[in-house]
Amino acid sequence: MGVSEELFERAKLVMPGGVNSPVRAYRAVNMAPRFIARADGPFVWDEEGSRYIDYVCSWGPMILGHNHPAIREAVEQAVKDGLSFGAPTRREVEIAELMTGCVPNIEMVRMVNSGTEAVMSAIRLARGATGRDELIKFEGCYHGHSDSLLVNAGSSALAGGCPSSAGVPEDIARHTLTAQFNDLASVESLLDAHPGAVAAVIVEPVAANMGVIGPDKGFLEGLRALCDKHGALLIFDEVITGFRLGLGGAQEYYGVRADIVTFGKIIGGGMPVGAYCASRSLMEQVAPCGPVYQAGTLSGNPVAMAAGLAQLRYLRDNPQVYTEIDAMAKKLADSMRASAEKHGIPVAINRVGSLLSPFFAPTEVTAFVDAKGSDAQRYAKYFAEMLRRGIALAPAQFEAMFVSAAHTDKLIDETASAFDAALAAL
Ligand SMILES: Cc1ncc(COP(=O)(O)O)c(C=O)c1O
C-alpha cells in the first residue's frame, strides 16, 4: 500500500469519505485519491514524490500556477504583520478599488470567505432588495452548498448522485425554480408562471460544473432582457469565470451586464476568499448601511487579502497572461480533438478561454442533457490513464480543466501526447 493509500485509510476513520470536500475522494473515478504534499508552478507532487502536470489548479484559483513568488512574498509579509485583527485594513480598500476598477457595473464589494458564502449572500441581497422570494437557477449549475442552491446542482453533487441534498427543508427548496441552461424558453415560462415573485435569475455565465458549456449566442443577452421585463435581478456567478475570462470577467467577455456578481477562487490567490459585488444602490442595502444582514469574523482576512491582491495586481499589470493561457488551452483542445478523431472515439471537447473539458459523449455538448449523456465510466478509465502518465485532472466528468500561466507549450504538448496515448489505451 502506498503512502496516499495509507493516509486515505486513516482519513476515512476520522473524516466523512476521508476528505473535507466530496470530489476529492475520487469516488467518481473509483480510486483512492492522491494526497498532495506540495506544488510549484504547473506541477503538484504527491506523498510518494510523483510529479504531475496539474490541470485542477485548486479548482481554479491558481491562474498563475502554484507558489507564485509575487503571491508567496505578499503572504509572507502579511503573516509578519499578524494573522487577523477583526478590524478594517488597508488591503481591503485596495482590493475593492482594484476590483471595481476592473469589473464593469460594480461599484462596491463585500468580501466573504468562500464562493458558497458569496452566492448565498448575493441571494439574500437580491431577495432583500426586491422583496421577492423566488429564485431561478439552471440544472447542472453549481453555486456552492447553501440550502437554496443545492437544488438540481452540478459539480460533485451531480457526480455523487445527490444534485439535491438531504437536509434542505422543502419549504426552502420550493423557492428555487430550475430552468435549463441555453434554453431561454424554460426561463420565460418560469417567470410567466410566477409573476412579480422572482427575485433573481442566477447563472454561471459559462457553465463549468457540468463540464464546460459556453452560453449559446444570445442566451445571456436574453436572460438580461427577461430579467428587465420581469423586474428580477440577474446574478452572474463568476466564482470560476471572474478574472479568468479576463479582468472584466464574463460581463466584459460577452458584453452583458449583471446586477450582482459573485467571485471566489482567483480573487483569493489560493486563500479562502469570496466576494459579492453590485452597484452602490444595491450594495448599500447590506448591513451596516441597509437591512440585509451579513457579517464574518474572518471576512477580509489580512493574509487572504494580501494573496488575492497580489494575484489581481499581477493579472492587471500582465494582461498578456490571458492571451497566453487562452492560446495554450486552444492548442490543447485542438490536439485532443485530432486524437479523438484519429482513434474514432466520440469525445466532445468544449473550451471557453482557458477552461476546457472533454466529454465522452456521442454528440456535441451544448446543454445539461448532453453532458448527462456522457460516459462517466469511460471518463474514469481515461482519468486513470492520464494519472499514470503524470497528468492530474479533475477526478470527475462534470468538471473543468484549468490552464494556468505556469503551463508552457512544451507541457501542453506532453499533455496532448498523454491524451493520445490514453485514448489508445481505452
Ligand atoms: C460557479 C461556482 N459558484 C460557487 C462555488 C462555491 O465556491 P466554494 O467552493 O468556494 O464555496 C463554486 C465552487 O466550485 C463554483 O464553481
In this prediction, residue 1 has a pLDDT band, given cuts at 50, 70 and 90, of confident
What is the reported pLDDT for 326?
Answer: 98
| CA neighbours closer than 13 Å in the CB half-sphere of residue 349 | 19
Q: What is the CA radius of gyration of the chain?
A: 21
pLDDT digits (tens, 9 = 90+) for 96-127: 999 999 999 999 999 999 999 999 999 999 99
Pocket test for ligand 1, best of 23, 59, 116 (most atoms within 8 A of CB): 116
Sheet containing 391-392: give its strands across: 36-40, 43-46, 51-54, 391-392
Pick among 3.40.50.1820, 3.40.50.300, 3.30.565.10, 3.40.640.10: CATH of 69-317: 3.40.640.10
SS3 138: strand
What is the reported pLDDT for 355?
Answer: 98
Closest CA relative to residue 261, chosen from 131, 106, 96, 99: 106
CA of 144 to the centre of ligand 1 (A): 5
Peptide bond into 288 cis (omega under 30): yes
Element containing residue 38 per DSSP (H, E)? strand 36-40
> Does the domain made of 3-67+319-425 have the CATH classification 3.90.1150.10?
yes
CA of 230 to the centre of ligand 1 (A): 27
Determine the atom of ligand 1 nearest the C-alpha atom of 141: 1
Q: Is the CB of 114 under 6 A from ligand 1?
A: yes
CA distance 71 to 269: 7
The domains of the chain are located at: 3-67+319-425, 69-317
| Mean pLDDT across 184-188 | 98
What is the reported pLDDT for 160?
Answer: 65
In percent, how much of the chain has pLDDT > 90?
95
Active-site residue, 133 included: no
Q: Is the CB of 385 under 6 A from ligand 1?
A: no
Please list the residues that pair with 269 across neighbouring strands. 271
CA distance 281 to 269: 29
Three-class secondary structure assignment of 69-101: HHHHHHHHHHHHCCCCCCCCCHHHHHHHHHHHH
pLDDT digits (tens, 9 = 90+) for 198-253: 999 999 999 999 999 999 999 999 999 999 999 999 999 999 999 999 999 999 99
Q: Which residue has the cell 493516509?
A: 7
| Mean pLDDT across 178-185 | 97
Active-site residue, 12 included: no
pLDDT exceeds cutoff 80 at 163: no
pLDDT exceeds cutoff 90 at 158: no
Q: Is the CB of 238 under 6 A from ligand 1?
A: no
Q: Is the CB of 239 under 6 A from ligand 1?
A: yes
pLDDT digits (tens, 9 = 90+) for 277-287: 999 999 999 99
Active-site residue, 237 included: yes
pTM of the full predicted structure? 0.98
Q: First vs last Cα of the chain: how many Å apart?
A: 25
In this prediction, residue 161 has a pLDDT band, given cuts at 50, 70 and 90, of low
